[in-house]
Chain A
Amino acid sequence: MNLTLKVWRQKNSSAKGTFETYQLDNVDVHASFLEMFDVLNEKLINEGKEPVAFDHDCREGICGTCSMVINGRAHGPLQNTTTCQLHMRHFKDGDTIVVEPWRSKAFPVLKDLVVDRGAFDRIIAAGGFVSVNTGQAPDANTIPVKKEKAELAFDAAACIGCGACVAACKNSSAMLFVSAKVSHLALLPQGNAERYSRVLNMVAQMDKEGFGSCTNTNACEAECPKGISVTNIARLNREYLAASLAAQKK
């Protein structure tokens, strides 16, 4: 198939970016979207031009590194699919494809399609953990966990931290990401002791990073490659409210 690509090019975080148009012919329908970019880059290098910088690593849809907005949609047109697992058979010969980086004030562009998602790490560092030092743990079967609860916690823990939720949100809200971690740990007995401090600290850090507010459009859930549900956001709100009231009581 033959394609026209409009790709965001930006030299560095302070440079002004622009769309460049590239013609790419004879793309194999079984290639992945990133392999198509490999072919484009090889062609650019052979022409003495600079290849497009983009983030990627495992190419199995699990590391959360890849991050492209394709035709206006985070990770492209397929549901529950990261950019690296999107294959060219889902496009048509002659298509024009527009490719941009995640756009959010909290995710500054570093170069071309590469953005800085350090804000997510800082939110986790603020409280997205259970405080248990190595060696302190009791036997793993000491505390039974209801299977249904464990499954729910897993559903939330499946988040890969890619940032598509932020990219998809018109407000650049990080609520789906934060709520997934809050839910994962709040649903398990192991996370219970720090339940309230966790949600307060993580939300405070989220606000500090410059993410926008949630207005319940559910765009994040629609674009999440791991199908993280917005019910987690509802749980985050409940947790936050409970924690705030508990804090007032003190």
Chain B
Amino acid sequence: MALDSKIPAGSLEEKWTRFRSTVKLVSPANKRKLDVLVIGTGLAGASAAASLAELGYRVSAFTFHDSPRRAHSIAAQGGINAAKNYRNDGDSTYRLFYDTIKGGDYRAREANVYRLAEVSGNIIDQCVAQGVPFAREYGGLLDNRSFGGVQVERTFYARGQTGQQLLIGAYQALERQVGLGNVQMYTRHEMLDVVIRNGRAVGIIVRDLITGEIQRHAGHAVVLATGGYGNVFFLSTNAMGCNVTAIWKAHKKGAFFGNPCFTQIHPTCLPQHGDYQSKLTLMSESLRNDGRVWVPKAKGDKRRPEEIPDAERDYYLERKYPSFGNLVPRDIASRAAKEVCDEGRGVGTTGLAVYLDFADAIKRLGQKVVEARYGNLFEMYEKITGDNPYQTPMMIYPAVHYTMGGLWVDYNLSTTVPGLYAIGECNFSDHGANRLGASALMQGLADGYFILPYTIGEYLSGEILAGKNDAKWSEFDEAENAVKSKIERLFSIKGKHSVDHFHRQLGKVMWDDCGMARSKDSLSRAAVEIRKIRDAFWNDVRITGAPNELNPELEKALRVADFFELGELMVQDAMHREESCGGHFRLEHQTPDGEALRHDDQFMYVAAYEYKGDNQQEAMHKEDLKYEVVKPSQRSYK
């Protein structure tokens, strides 16, 4: 099957305008007859569900949380980018587009990224109108700050809780539609399969997490907005519930999976401290605006940080990247931290940490200003570690944060299955091999508010004549039976170990062998190890309780079972991509000074995988990336 990205004709600047002017429309009377199922209610899902309902579609929204306000979009701290140029510092749609393409190491689609930059300003307008309390200046106008990988100030923020405020805005818009009767909201419902009939998505199978009931929901289109899959690493900055199940089921039913190995490792997270650890906590990248990253120059220097004089410190980011300094993009900052720790210059009890020091900022600005900028982050740091970062430098280490990979989508955000859409982090589209800070919120809301509501009309206009989809169709029987038998199978194992026991093992393999640095050797080892752990899981897992009740162990087991299969695909993809780009770093492919070495002549494409059945190698399809405007070059932040 040839991949058709459906990029509209015309110059980059004209594509989206032309698309909007020519896309097929659905009349208001017909919208009332069309059901859209939206899975996930984070930024992308909530904004899409609300906007579609405002247009007049009949929307059902599903979340496994107890409320649509809980999705992990809420944890984003730093901000959201938009090309408003309120700073008069030379920002423009083109610059935001260019920075995103370059930041993604030239592995994203030009047309999609340009559109993202184009609608970025509308997002800020929309959110302000909803009452999102962005930071303001004394004149009453909106404040901006700068973020990694860029040289303008285009990031809008709401203290250190930007994600929370944006999500609450989208949540309120969604609840308004619930109150008006335009959205049927299903909380504590988890999607366990998508139903396909004659090659089109016609519904989903969900489990009511309170009663355990398996339900069928039919619709004219299914929109997946289920977030990223970083929890395949067990320890990540993701929330405990984040999982791959919805998109993995879609993948197994025919949706191609794009660039599965592209994982973002965030440089400023709290280091791991014990075996019982359940997750890693991120400290906003905005800290790198004023904090200076360093390690001792000498290996194994065990002195307290205050006792190490300036001359014996290595501010390695400032040394290696003088023009961007501490604000280099995430992939570069993370790799640099790993490098100094591998050299034996890491700090803390494990040696797997570097300092993020605010002493100079406090001297320059005063503690009050630092407190106003980062107070809540400092507080959070102290709560978790027991150390006071005003007095002693923070200790940080990279951790898995975001997955650029996801379901392959065309310009319309449609997967390879007609009627099945993927928006937000769960698609692969806009960030290439590395996402810039403050761009995830932008993409989630762009997809949900301003892109999907237009593009989905292209498909739904053809569904008007199709009539109502029927949950009694045999395809629903099959999907429901498959879900039920999988649950029965899990209960029948009656093994010795908890789900977490296996998940932790999987995570360690993924981190050690398919994490920040990958090689042919490590990936070959990972392929073998994952299979072993997966087999052990299916022979020895113990699920307590019963299927027909609130059962968190069963929920976890269903998710982890999919993580094993995903892990294998990530390894396959990382193995095939014989180059380094963005977050994907192959040890065999680096420049003499240790930077990522791309091979544009061989790998300037999206790897989109097609599921071929249990235990079969997946088939890889290529979408060649054509750069018509930007000239790809070796990324340099020196």
- On A, residues with C-beta under 8 Å from B are 11-12, 28, 30-32, 34-36, 38-39, 41-42, 44-46, 48-51, 53, 55-65, 81, 85, 87, 89, 110-111, 114, 116-118, 120-121, 124-141, 144-147, 150-151, 153-154, 157-158, 160-161, 184-185, 188, 190-191
Given the interface contacts A45-B544, A57-B240, does A134 sit within 8 Å of B51 by beta carbon? yes
Closest A-B pairs by Cβ, 4 of them:
A144-B140, A125-B179, A137-B129, A129-B172
CB < 8 Å: which of A31, A120, A126, A190 contacts B129? A190
- Quote the shortest CB–CB distance from A140 to chain B (angstroms): 4
Most buried by A among B130, B141, B241: B130
CB < 8 Å: which of B67, B171, B239 contacts A117? B67
Q: Type the 1/0 row for B273-292, where 1 means its CB is closer than 8 Å to any CB of A.
A: 11011110110000000000
Alpha-carbon gap, A143 to B155, bound state (A): 19
Q: List 26 A-B pairs, Cβ < 8 Å.
A: A30-B274, A32-B278, A35-B276, A44-B544, A45-B544, A53-B552, A55-B66, A57-B70, A57-B240, A61-B380, A85-B383, A87-B384, A110-B210, A121-B68, A124-B175, A125-B178, A134-B54, A135-B450, A137-B126, A140-B129, A141-B141, A146-B136, A154-B133, A158-B164, A188-B133, A191-B131
Alpha-carbon gap, A62 to B237, bound state (A): 13
**A56 with B175: CB separation less than 8 A:** no
CB < 8 Å: which of B125, B135, B549 contacts A12? B549
- On B, residues with C-beta under 8 Å from A are 47, 50-51, 54, 65-72, 74-75, 84, 86, 121-122, 124-131, 133-142, 158-159, 161, 163-165, 168, 171-173, 175-176, 178-179, 185, 187, 210, 239-241, 273-274, 276-279, 281-282, 380, 383-384, 386, 449-450, 453, 496-498, 500-501, 542, 544-545, 549-553
CB < 8 Å: which of B66, B86, B278, B542 contacts A38? B278
Q: Main secondary structure on chain A at its contact with chain B?
A: loop
**A111 with B550: CB separation less than 8 A:** yes
- Quote the shortest CB–CB distance from A186 to chain B (angstroms): 10
**B86 with A87: CB separation less than 8 A:** no
Alpha-carbon gap, A61 to B136, bound state (A): 25
Alpha-carbon gap, A118 to B498, bound state (A): 30
Alpha-carbon gap, A20 to B172, bound state (A): 39
Chain B residue nearest to A185 in the complex (CB): B131
**B176 with A125: CB separation less than 8 A:** yes
**B453 with A50: CB separation less than 8 A:** no
Given the interface contacts A39-B276, A136-B129, does A118 sit within 8 Å of B67 by beta carbon? yes
**A62 with B172: CB separation less than 8 A:** no
Chain A residues near B553 (CB, 8 Å)?
45, 51
Chain B residues near A144 (CB, 8 Å)?
136, 139-141
Alpha-carbon gap, A30 to B550, bound state (A): 30
Given the interface contacts A39-B276, A140-B124, A145-B136, does A65 sit within 8 Å of B66 by beta carbon? yes
Alpha-carbon gap, A160 to B265, bound state (A): 27
Alpha-carbon gap, A127 to B161, bound state (A): 23
Given the interface contacts A45-B542, A137-B128, does A65 sit within 8 Å of B70 by beta carbon? yes
Alpha-carbon gap, A11 to B278, bound state (A): 26
**A58 with B130: CB separation less than 8 A:** no
- Quote the shortest CB–CB distance from A125 to chain B (angstroms): 4
**A28 with B274: CB separation less than 8 A:** yes
- Quote the shortest CB–CB distance from B563 to chain A (angstroms): 17
**B131 with A59: CB separation less than 8 A:** no
